[in-house]
Amino acid sequence: MMGSLRGKVAIVGAADTAVGKVPEMSATELCVDAILRAVADAGLKKGDIDGLVTCNSMSQPMLYHAEAIAEYLQIFPRYCIAAGAGGGTTFSILHHAASAIATGMAETIVIAMADSLRSGLTREQAMLMQSSTGHPRFEQPYGPTVPAYYALIAQAHMAEYGTREEHFAEVAVACRAHAARNPAAQMRDPITVDDVLNSRMIADPLHLLDCSLVSDGGAAIVLTSAERARDFPHDPVYLLGVGEGHIHEHISQAHSLTTSAAREAGARAYDMAGLGPSDMDFAQLYDCFTPTVLVELEDLGFCRKGEGGDFLTSEGIGPTGALPVNTHGGMLSHSHPGNPGSMFALTESVHQLRHDAGKRQVSDAKVGLLHAQGGIMSSHTTLILGREAG
């Protein structure tokens, strides 16, 4: 395929900070901590990094975030950028960073994201952030917060396909089952479907346990060319496919509430990789709220449109399910520090494909799919990663 990135770059370092409530570290300190951990994991020194990508922090924003982090570290990269595409930033910017390596803009790029939504914002600040995301004319005047927008998606799916609250609850239960195997996860106590349905209603039909956590934390990866990747301490994890999809910015302008641009993003990633849904050993799907996982399962081809609920109950996405999803616990149980939330899906996938994920290891994992979205199902990117370059 002309212009394909398949097998051209690899992840050679990955690391997380502590997550949950980390009041002793600011968002900037968490970002720097993640970078230093990832660089050490790759067997490098910070001076070896000639590319740096970050996203801005909500709790400690800076006008030139990536440059400020580079200044803090006293590194002087030739490729330096701060990205913003909501929760999808992690994977969309990896697409761009891979292109930068393939075109010679940099050799060794660190992608790092961190925030302190749990410790760095007051309740009032958090609520203001939640209520200021909508369209200023068509959404904000009516007072919805972010959970209400995702509840709209859930209600539409229920009305169109007969999906039930119990189906959404299965997502939360599965993520918690994965988190129970992950000592780093913020929430590890097992839950049941009844626990989810009996938790406090947030925005009908979404209950408290249908909603992602609020966390501090950060993570980073080191990306380099496939040619150089074998010179590092760990097995490289190769980028096999990547695709993006962008249909709307504001949910009131969405063409559909039940089908997302994950369909286009996934199709483009599968095409580049020369693989399909049945080839995936695991998936990491953006789970800010439980309905997103159900819609993504359908749009990414793991089941037919409208059959996501049945897939969750009959096939399963937990540790013993047909398709393990969010093997670290996801945003519902591992952590969700805002825009950096999907970074942990990325570092988890590296561990799965290195085969060093411990008790949560997916047996003989060779290929995995990752999907993230930003906004309200707005900006979508799909990655396919593998142990082999091609």
Q: Is the pLDDT of residue 128 over 70?
A: no
Return the CATH number of the domain spanning residue range 9-121+216-229: 3.40.47.10
Residue (of 325, 19, 46) closest to 172 by Cα position: 325
Mean pLDDT of the chain: 94
Residue 231 C-alpha from the chain's centroid: 28
Q: Average the pLDDT over 314-328 and give the result.
A: 97
The string of pLDDT tens digits covering residues 47-99 is: 999 999 999 988 888 999 999 999 999 999 999 999 986 788 889 999 999 99
Lookup: tokens for 338: 């805002």
Rounded distance between C-alpha atoms, residue 191 and residue 175, angstroms: 10
The reported pLDDT for the residue numbered 145 is 85
Q: Is the pLDDT of residue 274 over 70?
A: yes
Q: Average the pLDDT over 245-263 and give the result.
A: 93
Residue ranges of the domains in the chain? Answer: 9-121+216-229, 145-209+242-386
Q: Is the pLDDT of residue 127 over 70?
A: no
pLDDT-derived band at 154 (thresholds 50, 70, 90) equals very high
* Phi and psi, residue 200, nearest 5°: -60, 135
Lookup: tokens for 294: 């159900």
The reported pLDDT for the residue numbered 1 is 41
The reported pLDDT for the residue numbered 124 is 73
CA distances to 220, 357, 370 from 367, in Å: 21, 15, 10
The CATH homologous superfamily to which domain 145-209+242-386 belongs is Thiolase/Chalcone synthase (3.40.47.10)
Tell me the chain's radius of gyration from C-alpha atoms: 19
Q: pTM score > 0.85 for this model?
A: yes
pLDDT-derived band at 135 (thresholds 50, 70, 90) equals confident
Q: Average the pLDDT over 180-184 and give the result.
A: 98
The string of pLDDT tens digits covering residues 18-51 is: 999 999 999 999 999 999 999 999 999 999 999 9
Peptide linkage before 236 cis (omega within 30 of 0): no
The reported pLDDT for the residue numbered 339 is 87
Which position has the higher pLDDT, 2 or 78?
Answer: 78
Q: Is the pLDDT of residue 2 over 50?
A: no
